[in-house]
Amino acid sequence: MNLSVPVRPWEWFAGLGESVSQVSWSSDGNVLAVGLLDGRVVLLNAANGAVLQTFMAHADGLFRTAFSSSLPLLATSGQDGFIRIWSQTGERFQEIEGGKAWAEQLLWSPGGDRLAAAVGRRLFLWDAASRKVVETAVHRSTVAGLSWKADGSVLAAACYAGVELWRSADGQHHGSLPWKTSLISLAWSPDGRWVVAGTQEQSIQIWEIPFRAGEELAMSGYAAKVRELAWHSGGRYLATGGGTEVMVWDCGGRGPAGTTPRILQGHEARISALAYQRAGHLLASGGQDGQVLMWNAGKSSQALRRMDLPGVVTDLAWSPSGNRVAAGTRDGAVAVGGIPA
């Protein structure tokens, strides 16, 4: 255990008795939605962790739970192939039937006005203003990751042999970012310059936008498959998991090609979650060791604070104000803590 890092208590802690799939803050920061693998959603008072409401969202099991960043709407997806949209109080607002495959991917646009969801090889786009659903062409394989362009105009979807780009307004194909094998994670930089994906080969693949064939970048040498990707709000720094260390690549200037990443050491087991503040410089990392560490990775390789949880950290999410972080674990723990003083 890294004894040189100051340890701080959580503001509050709750045990929910079931593995946490995802945690998400409401747009006003007052409610924390916790999706549990058994299909339930628990709405908590973000100030003190008190349970406001619990409801069954997907009886066969839940994958994703996400609040819109601008609307009082909560979206969920599950093993039943449905995408469901709820009010902030847990009343069902709309339902999308995706088919027989699992609905594993779900992501609101940065503006919170559009929702993307993948059900197997099928991709659905929902417009909050019109409540209309558009389905894109079917992908080559199961969609393994989604990421929006910062202005919400284009959605990227990762699958076998590359990334497909889709216009959000009409679901029409907008381009391809080819790669030779399966991709398992995806993140588009906030400045729109880079699209990055984790591969099956324990590496990350990077495309500069606009894409030119032959200029792809590959970063290898990871100890495990890279499922954890997080961009700094300015788009300069990319944090990646794929081992017990966090690697932070500087993607400014000419880009990361030929450079060495900043390595953040402090976890005793593999990284399992990463999240940057929506606006700010702090990075939160969670590990299979139950530790949550906070870093200012652009300035230092030394962690600023450590907060401990029982069990593997499964998700991290910053509050809209950026002054608190929520964490969930495989053992059913949920906690909220403040930023370093």
Domain residue extents for the chain: 19-104
Residue 214 is predicted with a pLDDT of 86
Q: CA-CA distance, 10 to 325, in Å (whole number)?
A: 10
Residue 3 is predicted with a pLDDT of 58
Class of residue 69 by CB neighbours under 10 A (exposed 0-12, middle 13-18, buried 19+): middle
Residue 2 is predicted with a pLDDT of 55
Q: Quote the Cα angle for 185-186-192, to 5°.
A: 170
The candidate with the shortest Cα–Cα distance to 325, out of 14, 23, 109, is 23
CB 24 within 8 A of CB 36: no
Whole-Å CA distances, 272 to 103, 113, 200, 250 = 21, 29, 16, 21
Q: Quote the Cα angle for 180-181-183, to 5°.
A: 125
Q: CA-CA distance, 251 to 196, in Å (whole number)?
A: 11
Instruction: Tell me: cis bond preceding 190? Omega within 30 of 0 counts.
Output: no
DSSP per-residue string spanning 172-190: -EEEEEEEEEEEEEEEE-T
The pLDDT tens digits along the chain (341 residues) read 555 899 999 999 999 999 999 999 999 999 999 999 999 999 999 999 999 999 999 999 999 999 999 999 999 999 999 999 999 989 999 999 999 999 999 999 999 999 999 999 999 999 999 999 999 999 999 999 999 999 999 999 999 999 999 999 999 999 999 999 999 999 999 999 999 999 999 999 999 999 999 888 999 989 999 999 999 999 999 999 999 999 999 999 999 999 999 999 999 999 999 999 999 999 999 999 999 999 999 899 999 999 999 999 999 999 999 999 999 999 999 999 999 86
Give bridge partners of residue 291 from the DSSP assignment. Answer: 308
Q: CA-CA distance, 162 to 140, in Å (whole number)?
A: 10
Q: State in words which class domain 19-104 has.
A: mainly beta
Half-sphere CA count of 317, side-chain side, radius 13 A: 27
